[in-house]
Each structure stands twice: as C-alpha cells, then as structure tokens.
Structure 1
Amino acid sequence: MVWKNSVGDIRQVKHSPAVEVQGILFDFDGTLAHLNIDFQCIREAVKSVGIEMGVPPSFLEKRYILEAIDEAAAKLRIERPVVADVFIDAASAAITDVEVRAAAHSHLLPGVIELFEGLRARRIAVGIVTRNCRQAVEIIMGESLAPDSIRTRDDVDRVKPDPSHLLIAASDLGLSTDRVWMVGDHPTDMVAGNNAGMRCVGVLTGKSSAEELTQGGAWKVIPQVAILVELLPA
C-alpha cells in the first residue's frame, strides 16, 4: 500500500442553509476514541525497517509518518525499485503491530455510542475516515458502533488530508458531499473536508486549538463530539 496526499490550498465552500445534512463522517483517533498509541515507538520501528533496507533515518523524521514512508519509498523506487514495495509492506506491518497492541488498551470516548444512536434515530448516515488501520478500529469499536462506512488507510490509496479519502466514504453513503459533514480534531480533517466540498466541524480534544481548527476551515468548533447533535436542525 502506498499512502499519498495532495492537500493544496483550502477551497472555501459555500453551503446553502437549505441543504439538509444526511450523512456525517468522523475522524477516529481523538474524535471518537482514545488510542494509547506510542507514536515515537511507531517512528522507531519504521526507522529500524528503513535502516535494514538502506533508507537514511533523516527520511523518516517528518512529522507525519505515512508521508515519510511515501517519500522514502519514492527514493527507493529510483535507486532500488524492488526494495521499495518490500519496505512499504514491512513499514506498514510495523505500524499496524503498534496500533493493534495499543487498541487492546483503548476505548471509545464518553457519549459516542449515544451520539451514533441519536444520529441513526434522525436517519443520518455515519461513516469513519481514519489514517489508522482497520484492525485497530474494529477492536475498539467492537459491536458498540455500526457505521455505514469505514474507510481506514488499508482501504484507500490516498489518505486524508487528501480529499479522495472522504469522497470514497461519501460515495459509500450514497450522498453528494454538500449533504455530508466532516467531524475531526485536527486541522487536516478540516482541510480534507473543505476540499471535498463538505461542511466541517472541529472538536477540541487537546490536539488542536479552536483557532487552528478554524484556520483549517472549520464551520463550527465544539468542546466534545458528544454534543454534535446540538448543531443539527431541530
């Protein structure tokens, strides 16, 4: 799997107040669940894989590890194309291993189950779009949540903030993007949603400030995801 994104500039989306929301896409880690992921452990595991295959550690120092893997793989394809795919598979397995182990000690955030039940009562479709692996997401969700769509990094070629990740999920719901909201706790969620033509709601989880979420393109910012229903029409 190769993870790619092309964010570009935020596209300002004008939403008609008459358009009814019929679907909501949620980020997972931080927004719906607390994952006890050791990101430094992930980075060190990927570095170890890279060193074995001749990838300079400096290539894996970028803030976002999936993009760092892409960059390293692109370099390998020029110099050692056969090794590139082996590196991606090994790096992916290393990340998944850390995430799955963390998922066993993670949990959904308070009010999430009730939120999903409330959205279903309103006949609003729900989906999850996440850079996490599917196995970790399913471990934490168990049978508590039953979203209409789950799109993890395992399911797409381009992960958010690339808007195509969200467009695929909206297609799963059978909805045009002007009828879908994107909810997340990071500015990249807002960028992806805006560039996909969706109204975006930021959630304050301690990861990003209200100002950062607004600058990313949030229409509204709320203190916790459980009160999202308060933004819906009566």
Structure 2
Amino acid sequence: MEKRKDMKLIIFDFDGTLVYLNIDYNGMRESLKDYFRKHGINSEFRPLIPSVNRAVLQLEKKLGKSVIDEVFDIIDEFEKEGTDKCVVFPNAKEVLQKLKEMGFKVGIFSNNGEKCIYSVLEKIGAKDMVDMVFSRDKIKDGMNIKPAEDGILKMMKKLKAKKEEAWMVGDRIYDEIAAKAVGIKFIAVKTKYSECDFQNPDFVVTDLKEILKIVK
C-alpha cells in the first residue's frame, strides 16, 4: 500500500486578514435584534456571530430549522453590501498564488458566509487558489464556528495535513483560540482594522508577504 503523503496546509481567516469587507455591523446587529426581539429573545449580540449562533440554537427548538435560513438571509444581505465595497489587502492574491507554488494546500476558515467568501474570491481572481472553505454555513450541518476549532480539524482531515505542517493566519483572538486548541502554529495579522487582542501568537506580521518567509 502506498504511504499517505501529508500536505502542508495554511488556513486563513477572511475578513480582516485577506480583505476588509466594510460591512455595516451596527446595522446588521440592529436588524438581528429586531428579528429575535419579535420571538422573545433580547441580546446585544456581542460578539456578533457567536451570539447569533446561541440565539439561533435557542429559537430553533421552538420554530425549527427555518430560523437558520431566516437569520442567515439577514446577515447575507449586509455581507453582500460589504462585498461590493470590499478592500483587498496588499499582496493578498500574490501570497495565495505563491503558497500554491510552494506546494501548500490553502483553506479559508471564516465566520462569514460562503456566498460572500466565494463572491470576493471570484472578484479578485483567487477562487482557484483556495482548496477548501469552512464558513458559518456549516452551522446547518451541526458544526461549530470560531472560536471552536471544527473548521481546522475538518480541513486537516480532508486535505491530509498533520498539525506540524499546518498554520492558521488571522487578525482576531478567535483565530488564535481555534489554532491553539488544535496545536497548530498561529500567525497574527496586524492591520489598521485589527483588534490586536491576541494572547500569545507564534508570529506577528503587518504585511502578508512576511508569511512566505515564516512558512518556507
């Protein structure tokens, strides 16, 4: 039997790491408050997506699976507006292309929606540079979003990567928490949009091109 060859894997967060989506999160939050308030659930939805996930699970018990679609429709609409105004970070596409040339499998692990992610990747001509996407849509399959590590584990299994050959790149502490839970190396990206609330990242970069030197 041929021995399995383990692949090198690098997983990126999306919004705030590769691009800035310019989403009206305050407007999204207010729309979600209105929706859930009608069903007897009051929340400030901070942090946004994990809080929404909890509220969805609570309401789903009463109203069924349709809740997920209705809530995601609200979020998708705001993400679409952000997608139309998105800013691609310097060197993002070039770095993805170079990583593929270096033999890496490339994944995206994001709490954004799949429609949004693929729309932007298509827009910047980088769709073929990404091997796998794990988005918040996986909630529908019973999986957990960040800060849970489900997305990393799923990609490592699917793309045949050991943790010694895997990296996570992100701009928020949720990315770091997920990476550390699995035991893979974490590269923190600091931009003018970052919250910079990291705990103990393995590396910190201010330009995506720096990643190429770290993982070579």
Structure 1 partner of 2:132: 149
Corresponding position: 1:126 with 2:106: yes
State how far apart, in whole Å, the 2-side matches of 1:117 and 1:69 are.
Answer: 34
State how far apart, in whole Å, the 1-side matches of 2:57 and 2:97 are.
Answer: 44
Secondary structure at the residue paired with 1:182? strand
Equivalent residues in 2 for 1:42-191, closer than 5 Å:
42-56=28-42, 59=43, 61-76=44-59, 81-83=61-63, 85-142=65-122, 143-146=125-128, 147-156=130-139, 157-191=143-177
Q: What TM-score, normalized by structure 1, do the two folds share? A: 0.80
State how far apart, in whole Å, the 2-side matches of 1:69 and 1:55 are.
Answer: 11
Secondary structure at the residue paired with 1:128? strand
**C-alpha RMSD of the superposition:** 2.0
Query: Structure 1 residues 74 and 112 mapped into 2: Cα distance closer, same or farther (>3 Å)?
Result: closer
State how far apart, in whole Å, the 2-side matches of 1:174 and 1:29 are.
Answer: 26
State how far apart, in whole Å, the 2-side matches of 1:31 and 1:21 are.
Answer: 23
32-41 or 68-77, which moves further after superposition? 68-77
The 8 Å contact of residues 32 and 112 in structure 1, kept in 2 or not, is answered as yes
One-letter amino acid of the counterpart of residue 81, structure 2: R
State how far apart, in whole Å, the 2-side matches of 1:121 and 1:32 are.
Answer: 18
State the shift of 1:172 in Å: 2.5
Q: Which residue, 200, 204, 212 being the options, matches 1:221?
A: 204
Runs of 4+ in 1 over 3 A off after TM superposition: 73-77, 84-88
| Cα deviation digits, residues 24-82 of structure 1 (max 9, x gap) | 000000100110101101101111111222223xx2x13122222233345446xxx33
| Identical positions, percent | 25
Q: What TM-score, normalized by structure 2, do the two folds share? A: 0.86
The 8 Å contact of residues 111 and 226 in structure 1, kept in 2 or not, is answered as yes
Secondary structure at the residue paired with 2:71? helix
The 8 Å contact of residues 116 and 145 in structure 1, kept in 2 or not, is answered as no
- Structure 2 unmatched runs, 5+: 1-5
65-74 or 133-142, which moves further after superposition? 65-74
Query: Structure 1 residues 88 and 155 mapped into 2: Cα distance closer, same or farther (>3 Å)?
Result: closer
Query: Structure 1 residues 53 and 186 mapped into 2: Cα distance closer, same or farther (>3 Å)?
Result: same
State the shift of 1:183 in Å: 0.4
167-176 or 129-138, which moves further after superposition? 167-176
